[in-house]
Each structure stands twice: as C-alpha cells, then as structure tokens.
Amino acid sequence: MESYFNQDEKLLVFKVSEEIDDYKVPEIRRKADYEIQRYMPKKIIFDFNNVTFMDSAGIGLIIGRYKFANLIGATLELANLTSSIRKIFEMSGILRLVPETELI
Amino acid sequence: MNKSFDNEMKVEFVSKSSNESFARITVAAFAAQLDPTVEELSDIKTAVSEAVTNSIIHGYENKIGIVKIIAKLEGQKLIIEISDKGKGIEDVEMAKEPLYTTKPNLERSGMGFTIMESFMDSVEIESILGLGTKIKMTKTIKKPNLEEYEKDFTMVTK
C-alpha cells in the first residue's frame, strides 16, 4: 500500500494494492494508522483501484479507520470501488458513514 | 467414479491465515470449469475466504490445525464443504446474525455468515462443541443461453 499527503488540502490518500483479507489487514492497518498519526489529516481517502479481492476483513478495516478518523476530527471516504467490493460494503451499512468519492 | 457428481477435489492445509488466498484461488480454479462470470467467481472466492477465516480465527483460535475443503461439481452446481476440527460454534443461530462477533475488539465485522449466505445459494452449518465445524455451501452457475443451446440440440437430434 502506498500513500501520499497533500499539505494544502490536508488530504491523506491510501492506494491499497493488497488483497484485503484477514492475513493482509494487520499490515494495512499498521501502515495506515502510522501515516494518519504522522500527518493528522482533515480528510482520508482509501483508493481501491488496485484491489483485486476483499472479504469481510475489509469492513473491519474501514470501521476501525473510521473510528480513528472521527477521533482526530477527520473525514473518511472510499474511492474506486468495484461492484464486488461495493456489494460487501453495502451489506455492512458502512457506506452511510463512509461515503464513496471520485478520485482519479 | 461415483455417479452422483461429475467431478470432485479435496485439499487440506494448515490453519494459517497466509493460506486463505491459496484456499479461495484453488476453489475458484476448480469452479472455473462451470464457466462462471467474473462476478460469480468473485462471490465464490469471498464465501470461501469467509469460511476458511472462521475456521482459522474462531475454530482453531490461531493454533495449528487442519482445514479441509472438498469441492464437487454436479451439473452446473458447485458444492463446497469446508471443515475444521476446532472448538465448534456454541450458538449457530447467533453466529449467523449480521454484525454478531465474539471478537469485536479485533475489528471483526461479524459479517462472515451474512456474506456467505448472500453470495451462495445455500449455506448449511454443522457444528459440535469441541469437535469442529463443517460449512456446506452450494451455488448453481447459470449457463449462458441454455435454452437456445437446448433448442439447437433438439433440432439436431430429431
């Protein structure tokens, strides 16, 4: 997973490239939380463009990061969801709290 | 070969979460014989991943055990059995409830069974405390233009 921070917008973007399952989530979580603490952004986006697989471990990952974002007064959004990934997020209801956004 | 099904495979592996990817890809490769769509294949991989994760996390609680997968093809129907000899599920009905998890502190969503049930046609859970859990899931893969195909076939054989 790569990330970049836009200082002007206080925007932190995570470009996830792992398959999101129970095996990979701890590593993604560790990296994400480290970067969030380092930059203290106002807005966080998870970009799923390069994610080829996700199961319910992804729901836990996003709920956890949503809570963290809330704690520091940041918003969290998701970009480039495939139909399979969107279906999983829709089932959990998380998209009501963490909306989809456009990201090129 | 037993006539009640057309093909069968069996695979066993150690309950390490690094094997989750191996498990779902293996079943998907086997199911590919039925010509599933990309979406159907993705649904199968997700359902397998959920069941295998349950065996590893909840069945064996990250101790070493064996997870077994048997997959069968019966016409266009895919049958998957995923079993472990772990601790078993105390309350199966409770476990099936969306958002119910015994490990909320570990950011578990409790959506595993809900996802299996909505991505597969049927999901059966057999669990005995102290002996283990077996999940049986089925999904029928639609054949594209089957009616057209049958019509053509009838014309040819008449």
Delimit the domains of chain B by residue range: 7-157
Mutate to test the interface with A, among B21, B24, B49 (most CBs of A within 10 A): B49
CB nearest B20 (choices: A23, A91, A92): A23
Q: Which of A4-18, B30-44, B53-67, B85-99 is least confident? A: B85-99
DSSP B57: I
Whether B82 contacts B52, CB under 8 Å: yes
Closest Cα of chain B to A104: distance in Å? 24
- The answer to whether residue B2 scores a pLDDT higher than 60 is no
- The answer to whether residue B156 scores a pLDDT higher than 90 is no
Mean of pLDDT values over A29-34: 97
Q: Which class for B136: exposed (0-12), middle (13-18), buried (19 or more C-beta within 10 A)?
A: middle
Break chain B down into helix, strand, coil percent, rounded to 5. 45, 25, 30
Alpha-carbon separation of residue A75 from A33, A38, A40, B59 (angstroms)? 14, 16, 11, 36
Contacts 24+ apart (CB under 8 A), A84-89: A84/A54, A84/B39, A84/B42, A84/B43, A84/B46, A85/A48, A85/A51, A85/A54, A85/A58, A88/A54, A88/A55, A88/A56, A88/A58, A88/A59, A88/B46, A88/B111, A88/B115, A89/A58, A89/A59, A89/A62
- The answer to whether residue B18 scores a pLDDT higher than 80 is yes
- The answer to whether residue B67 scores a pLDDT higher than 90 is yes
Q: Do B20 and A22 touch (CB under 8 A)?
A: yes
Kindly report the average pLDDT of chain B as a whole number.
90
When pLDDT is cut at 50, 70 and 90, the band that residue B103 belongs to is confident
CB atoms under 10 Å from CB of B84, counted, come to 25
pLDDT reported for residue B37: 94
- The answer to whether residue B121 scores a pLDDT higher than 90 is yes
Task: Name residue, tokens 């932190």.
Answer: A12
The class (CATH top level) of B7-157 is alpha beta
- Greater confidence (B105 vs A34) lies with A34
Which CATH superfamily hosts domain A2-101?
STAS domain (3.30.750.24)
Q: Do A55 and B50 touch (CB under 8 A)?
A: yes
ipTM: 0.92
Q: Which of A17-21, A83-87, B3-7, B10-14 is least confident? A: B3-7
Which residues, 6+ apart, have CB-to-CB distance to B124 below 8 Å? B135, B136, B137
